[in-house]
């Protein structure tokens, strides 16, 4: 498939230091998209390891190796001012942001009766408020140009029940809700807003799921066992997701091929929504 209207565009991708965010950056760069890659690059207490500054810089080098321009932005999506400053830096470097990919996200395992308050805050602040802060500062430029694409990464958990993940599930349901609300609010400005609901992603080196690795460690499973475990809980038999499956959906929604698609949640979920 040929993807239209990507060459020369600028995408801001949160959580781009490694994992699926880095994969989105690499592949979009291959299609001629310049990348502002944002990540926290520091630990978050009581959560699994985040990307490092070296990870983020490697993403930018890979973007540049693909022939596009890249910019590394260190920012915590939980903090409004840091997001504002990062968006300002991206606008200063590139002049505009055509595509916003709200990819940054983390999960944790907590029973409702033993919920850790700091982890609850982190789940809501990273997964739900983070996209809202990014959109707050990117959208004005899109309104001014009367064009833009926003792609929010929700989760397949919105289509099936999951124990021990209630804070994460609630936040991802919220992402789907704000996607529909933004699509309605921004339609008159030519801005398309969609979400992707990915299944459990294979934890491959450099571009797989660090979420699977982190949650696996919490239940004493290695990455391969955790991938099989979480996939097997809810996927339809025989279906397993890899990072490229999600990236393919991102590229499609970012392109002119999806010109009239807005307010939609694309389930790249191995059939979980049928459960």
The pLDDT of residue 130:
98
The pLDDT of residue 58:
97
pLDDT for 32-84, tens place per residue? 999 999 999 999 999 999 999 999 999 999 999 999 999 999 999 999 999 99
**168 flagged as catalytic:** yes
Catalytic residue among 168, 210, 227, 240: 168
Domains of the chain are 10-270 (3.40.50.720)
Of 47, 178, 175, the residue nearest 120 (C-alpha): 47
Q: pLDDT of the chain along its 275 residues, tens only?
A: 799 999 999 999 999 999 999 999 999 999 999 999 999 999 999 999 999 999 999 999 999 999 999 999 999 999 999 999 999 999 999 999 999 999 999 999 999 999 999 999 999 999 999 999 999 999 999 999 999 999 999 999 998 778 999 999 999 999 999 999 999 999 999 999 999 999 999 998 766 788 998 999 889 999 899 999 989 988 999 999 999 999 999 999 999 999 999 999 999 999 999 87
Tell me the pTM.
0.97
Provide φ and ψ at 60, rounded to 5°: -65, -40
């Amino acid at each position: 498939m040929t993807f239209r209207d990507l060459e020369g565009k600028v995408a801001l991708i949160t959580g781009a230091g490694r994992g699926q965010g880095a994969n989105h950056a690499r592949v979009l760069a291959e299609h001629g998209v310049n990348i502002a890659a944002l990540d926290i690059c520091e630990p978050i207490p009581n959560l699994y390891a985040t990307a490092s500054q070296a990870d983020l810089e490697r993403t930018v080098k890979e973007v540049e190796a693909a022939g596009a321009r890249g910019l590394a932005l260190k920012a915590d999506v939980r903090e409004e001012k840091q997001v504002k400053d990062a968006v300002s830096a991206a606008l200063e470097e590139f002049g505009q942001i055509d595509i916003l990919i709200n990819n940054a996200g983390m999960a944790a395992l907590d029973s409702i009766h033993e919920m850790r308050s700091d982890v609850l805050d982190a789940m809501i602040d990273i997964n739900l408020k983070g996209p809202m802060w990014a959109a707050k500062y990117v959208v004005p430029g899109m309104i001014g140009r009367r064009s833009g694409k926003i792609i929010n990464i929700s989760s397949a958990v919105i289509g099936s029940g999951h124990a021990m993940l209630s804070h994460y599930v609630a936040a991802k349901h919220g992402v789907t809700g704000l996607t529909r609300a933004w699509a309605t609010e921004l339609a008159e400005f030519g801005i398309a807003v969609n979400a992707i609901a990915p299944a459990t992603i294979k934890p491959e080196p450099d571009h797989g799921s660090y979420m699977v690795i982190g949650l696996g460690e919490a239940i004493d499973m290695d990455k391969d066992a955790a991938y099989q475990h979480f996939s097997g809980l809810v996927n339809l038999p025989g279906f397993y997701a890899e990072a490229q499956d999600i990236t393919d959906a991102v590229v499609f929604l970012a392109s002119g091929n999806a010109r009239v698609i807005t307010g939609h949640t694309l389930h790249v979920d191995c059939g979980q929504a049928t459960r």
